[in-house]
Chain A
Amino acid sequence: MNLMDSSHSNPMSLCSQADSQRTLYPYVTGTSVIGVKYKDGILMAADMGGSYGSTLRYKSVERMKPIGKHSLLGASGEISDFQEILHYLDELILYDNMWDDGNSLGPKEVHSYLTRVMYNRRNKFNPLWNSLVLGGVKNGQKYLGTVSMIGVHFEDNHVATGFGNHLARPILRDEWHEDLSFEDGVKLLEKCMRVLLYRDRSAVNKLQIAKITEEGVTISQPYSLKTFWGFSAFQNPTVGAEGSW
């Protein structure tokens, strides 16, 4: 009892209690998301792994979700924070629909809103630990943007989060063009995802591709990429590695 009383009066413990209310590091995380504009809209790809540190803890995490009629959101980083964000957006879209007045929030508005949410949380030193990709089409306008956990945001013809920035974007810069067909877009994303699968240790070979056009959102069933591990260097990786074992 005494101990508890004293801990209440101790400013240090109050401080640490306040600290523990914040995300200091993520627990379960998703790796890269990539998105591209194509002829009719936006394509996005993300795998379904949820890592607990370096453990692959979950294998069926859906990291891309439709937001209202015109937007599609993909997330990397802390999965619980992403699900929290989805709650915010569900409420936002619900209230938007309740007006029932012919106005609706498009991808530009949702992106701007997310930017404010992320930035406000960083201002409170309590970030939502995610990098988000937001794509959408409204009134024939394609939109593709991204926000980081400290509120850095921009639009581009192709975007990627995390490792995707290192490994996928150079490919996208080489091969992306304005009038990419759906098939070519998917091929391009798969090429990027394959590179990420080979080189990003937290990537898993179970991914989804999502499409958003004027007609709406379609998210593919999970599937795997063909990989080839039969290179001779892989046969006996320790050959030539000097050491006692």
Chain B
Amino acid sequence: MFRNQYDTDVTTWSPAGRLFQVEYAMEAVKQGSAAIGLRSKTHVVLACVNKANSELSSHQKKIFKVDDHIGVAIAGLTADGRVLSRYMRSECINYSFTYESPLPVGRLVVQLADKAQVCTQRSWKRPYGVGLLVAGLDESGAHLYYNCPSGNYFEYQAFAIGSRSQAAKTYLERRFGTFQNSSREDLIKDALFAIRETLQGEKLKSSICTVTVLGVGEPFHILDQETVQGLINAFEMAGEEAPAADQGAAGEEGAAGEVVAAAEEGAAPEEGAATEEGAAPMDI
């Protein structure tokens, strides 16, 4: 038997200096359907894939408005994500009650990370099983952060989390150099392309994704389905490209993406594959 002796509670170190419970929580993030974010100087776009848990159910909401200037996309345990976004909403309301100005995003992200960190150091607690992409705008410009269950947080130009996010990351890594000066429309376009990467050949439709925008003079909002479908059609993604990708997915494009993935992240694509079977307990 190879039972892990060091993973029964969060506060126990392994001899190799790891906290297994925390790492398991980070695995939960990879099981959720993909969420991506990217930003320019003035705008941030969040997008996610909506996966229904069963044929009979609808999908869960994965992107939340926190305030006019902050939005969040989640992957992992949606229930934990809702708790955290409720916390973020109340922090924003409290701040603007006192100062009559919006809470700077970077500060909210640190508070959120500190909240997650506490769960990694208390024996009676459990880390949050959710990763959050936090998009925000403040006086220092547009920002995109990733908050991890471990209590770590990172600022990104573009990032993707969740199942098969590696493919989206590869796409974003290829393109991020131009994002800083991108127009709002180009950001949305790149967001849709990145989302399509995570679908592994499945046809991109507005019904399986959510796209949100936030920027200077534009409060956080979710684009409605018609708009998104219109954009998808305009980019001719639904038309010619998608079928081509459909056939080629297993062979070329998909494989190429996974080579990079395997090199960098190891298990990510496999986890994604498992999710497909609807066997992911974390998504329920």
The contact of A101 among B97, B100, B101, B140, by CB within 8 Å, is B140
Binary contact track A105-134/B, C-beta < 8 Å → 1, others 0: 110110011001000000000000000000
A99 within 8 A of B: yes
Q: Which residues of B contact A103 (CB under 8 A)?
A: 104, 106-107, 138-140
Q: Which residues of B contact A113 (CB under 8 A)?
A: 98-99
Smallest distance from the beta carbon of B69 to chain A beta carbons, Å? 12
A237 within 8 A of B: no
Q: Which residues of A contact B97 (CB under 8 A)?
A: 116
Binary contact track B93-132/A, C-beta < 8 Å → 1, others 0: 0000111110010110010000000000000000000000
User: A109 and B140: CB pair below 8 A?
Assistant: no
**A101-B140, A102-B139, A103-B140 given; A112·B100 CB < 8 A:** yes
The contact of B99 among A101, A102, A105, by CB within 8 Å, is A105
Interface size on A, residues (CB 8 A): 12
Assembly CA distance A93 to B138 (angstroms): 18
In this complex, the interface size class of chain B, counting residues with CB under 8 Å from chain A, is 10 to 19
Assembly CA distance A51 to B140 (angstroms): 45
Assembly CA distance A139 to B106 (angstroms): 20
Closest to B141 in A: A102
Binary contact track A171-201/B, C-beta < 8 Å → 1, others 0: 0000000000000000000000000000000
User: A112 and B138: CB pair below 8 A?
Assistant: no
User: B107 and A112: CB pair below 8 A?
Assistant: no
User: B106 and A109: CB pair below 8 A?
Assistant: no
Smallest distance from the beta carbon of A147 to chain B beta carbons, Å? 13
User: A101 and B98: CB pair below 8 A?
Assistant: no
Most buried by A among B100, B110, B138, B140: B100
User: B140 and A102: CB pair below 8 A?
Assistant: yes
The contact of A108 among B101, B138, B140, by CB within 8 Å, is B101
Most buried by B among A99, A102, A103: A103
Assembly CA distance A53 to B138 (angstroms): 48
Smallest distance from the beta carbon of A115 to chain B beta carbons, Å? 9
Closest to A116 in B: B98
Smallest distance from the beta carbon of A146 to chain B beta carbons, Å? 16
Closest to A109 in B: B99
Assembly CA distance A203 to B264 (angstroms): 74
Assembly CA distance A139 to B100 (angstroms): 17
User: B107 and A109: CB pair below 8 A?
Assistant: no
Closest to B100 in A: A112
User: A112 and B140: CB pair below 8 A?
Assistant: no
Q: Which residues of B contact A106 (CB under 8 A)?
A: 101
Binary contact track A47-62/B, C-beta < 8 Å → 1, others 0: 0000000000000000
Assembly CA distance A87 to B100 (angstroms): 22
User: B99 and A112: CB pair below 8 A?
Assistant: yes
Assembly CA distance A112 to B97 (angstroms): 9
Assembly CA distance A99 to B99 (angstroms): 17
Q: Which residues of A contact B107 (CB under 8 A)?
A: 99, 101, 103
Assembly CA distance A139 to B139 (angstroms): 10
Smallest distance from the beta carbon of A226 to chain B beta carbons, Å? 42
30 A-B residue pairings within 8 Å (CB atoms): A99-B106, A99-B107, A99-B110, A101-B104, A101-B106, A101-B107, A101-B140, A102-B139, A102-B140, A103-B106, A103-B107, A103-B138, A103-B139, A103-B140, A105-B99, A106-B101, A108-B100, A108-B101, A109-B99, A109-B100, A109-B101, A112-B98, A112-B99, A112-B100, A112-B101, A113-B98, A113-B99, A116-B97, A116-B98, A139-B139
Q: Which 5 A-B pairs have the closest CB atoms?
A: A102-B140, A103-B104, A112-B100, A109-B99, A101-B106
Given contacts A103-B138, A108-B100, A116-B98, 20 further A-B contacts (CB under 8 A): A99-B107, A101-B106, A101-B107, A101-B140, A103-B104, A103-B106, A103-B107, A103-B139, A105-B99, A106-B101, A108-B101, A109-B100, A109-B101, A112-B98, A112-B99, A112-B101, A113-B98, A113-B99, A116-B97, A139-B139
